[in-house]
């Protein structure tokens, strides 16, 4: 007998002939995640198992962060002997009060009892040992699970994981990461679909501080734990913002700034083999997030632009941020470049021709080239 963590996977089941590829990636990702605790990982009969670790809580914490894992259960692995299974099942119910139900799955059809027969047999033995308990098959207070596979597995809890698709199966993308609430959530949502992320951050010292940059790196570190670290490209943006502020109509300042960000992000993406860009925009949340404004920024790149938060309101975004532990960091009072030179009356329904006319006041190509040439890239990890 030994303790193991039993992990279930969700959407991978639907992948048909491509399923072996997705499973290989998923198992490899679990191995990477539990490597620091020395866990042994293997796949057998539609389950992933982890063993040979000391701390079950730590193992649960790690494996539930692996995209593609639907849920996990701390389990006891043992031989498929009915009397031993019954003995351990009864022991697991020590101290339980109220109502219970035994649930069984028999994948090994050579086992003498089918799932229903095994559930009845084990339920009867539990009642013999604990007559104070009652069976409730509809709304039990406690569920006891037994799975008969290559071994017998006993467990009584199911812990939900992040779900989604295995990391690395859907390509690579660049996340425009600010210090706010929205962009880390947007990155997490796309990571759940199996996309590896590199962050692109625009810094404007001295208007933005070292603390503001460290805040962004902390956010990258938090969401990077789902893919074993994150590469962050830090773009010097002060000169561009100063030029916009001095030479362009104030009301279009934020929009022109966003267009520069997309130009530079497009260059970084192409230089690093990234196939898409991700932003944290939510339709109508601020002046630069209207349909007209988004249309003016999207044409600055030939890459797909993913906006997973586009239909969410702020409270929904905050709820996800709290769930993934980025919220408390995001609300630290350190400014980012988007708050520098904010216009008093921003244009909300810009005409592309007018925006392009304002940009002709700037040496756009030279400003972009200088910024790209001075990008600093760092790798952040827990």
pLDDT exceeds cutoff 70 at 13: no
pLDDT per residue over 239-295, tens digit each?
A: 999 999 999 998 899 899 999 999 999 999 999 999 999 999 998 777 678 888 899
Of the chain, the percentage scoring pLDDT greater than 90 comes to: 81
| Distance in angstroms (rounded) separating the CA atoms of residues 57 and 143 | 20
Reported as a pLDDT band with limits 50, 70 and 90, residue 338 is low
pLDDT exceeds cutoff 90 at 342: no
| Distance in angstroms (rounded) separating the CA atoms of residues 342 and 253 | 7
Backbone angles phi, psi at 252, to 5 degrees: -100, 5
| Distance in angstroms (rounded) separating the CA atoms of residues 81 and 195 | 44
Reported as a pLDDT band with limits 50, 70 and 90, residue 333 is confident
**Cα–Cα distances in Å, from 335 out to 71, 80, 175, 232, 240?**
38, 61, 19, 18, 17
pLDDT per residue over 360-378, tens digit each?
A: 999 999 999 999 999 999 9
Average pLDDT over residues 185-193: 96
Reported as a pLDDT band with limits 50, 70 and 90, residue 135 is very high
Under DSSP, the state recorded for 71 is E
pLDDT exceeds cutoff 80 at 382: no
Average pLDDT over residues 173-180: 94
Give me the half-sphere count of Cα atoms (radius 13 Å) on the Cβ side of residue 307: 17
Query: Angle at Cα 229 formed by Cα 223 and Cα 233, nearest 5°?
Result: 85
Q: Give the lowest-confidence range in 103-117, 292-306, 338-352.
A: 338-352
């Amino acid at each position: 007998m030994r303790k193991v963590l039993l992990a279930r996977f969700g959407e991978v089941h639907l992948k048909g002939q491509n399923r072996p590829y997705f499973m290989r990636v998923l198992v490899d990702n679990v191995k990477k995640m539990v490597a620091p605790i020395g866990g042994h990982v293997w796949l057998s009969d539609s389950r992933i198992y982890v063993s040979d670790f000391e701390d079950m809580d730590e193992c649960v914490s790690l494996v539930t962060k692996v995209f593609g894992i639907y849920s996990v259960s701390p389990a006891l692995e043992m031989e498929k002997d009915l009397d031993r299974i019954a003995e351990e099942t009864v022991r697991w119910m020590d101290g339980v009060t109220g109502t219970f139900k035994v649930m069984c799955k028999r994948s090994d059809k050579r086992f003498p009892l089918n799932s229903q027969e095994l559930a009845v047999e084990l339920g009867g033995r539990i009642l013999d040992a604990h007559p104070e308990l009652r069976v409730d098959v509809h709304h039990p207070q406690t569920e006891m699970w037994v799975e008969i596979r290559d071994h017998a597995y006993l467990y009584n809890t199911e812990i939900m994981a992040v779900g989604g698709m295995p990391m690395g199966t859907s390509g690579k993308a660049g996340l425009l990461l600010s210090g706010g609430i929205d962009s880390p959530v947007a990155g997490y949502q796309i990571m759940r679909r199996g996309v590896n992320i590199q962050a692109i951050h625009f810094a404007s010292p001295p208007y933005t501080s070292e603390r503001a940059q460290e805040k962004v790196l902390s956010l990258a570190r938090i969401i990077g734990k789902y893919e074993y670290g994150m590469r962050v490209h830090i773009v010097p943006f002060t000169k561009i913002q100063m030029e916009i502020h001095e030479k362009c109509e104030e009301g279009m300042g934020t929009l022109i700034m966003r267009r520069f960000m997309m130009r530079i992000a497009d260059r970084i993406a192409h230089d690093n083999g990234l196939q898409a860009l991700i932003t944290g925009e939510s339709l109508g949340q601020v002046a630069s997030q209207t349909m007209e404004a988004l249309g003016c920024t999207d044409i600055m790149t030939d890459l797909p632009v993913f906006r997973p938060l586009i239909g969410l309101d702020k409270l929904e975004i905050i709820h996800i941020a709290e769930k993934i532990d980025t919220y408390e960091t995001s609300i630290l009072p350190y400014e980012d470049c988007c708050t520098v030179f904010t216009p008093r009356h921003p244009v909300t329904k810009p005409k592309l021709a007018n925006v392009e006319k304002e940009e002709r006041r700037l040496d756009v190509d030279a400003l972009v080239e200088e910024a790209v040439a001075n990008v600093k890239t760092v790798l952040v990890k827990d």
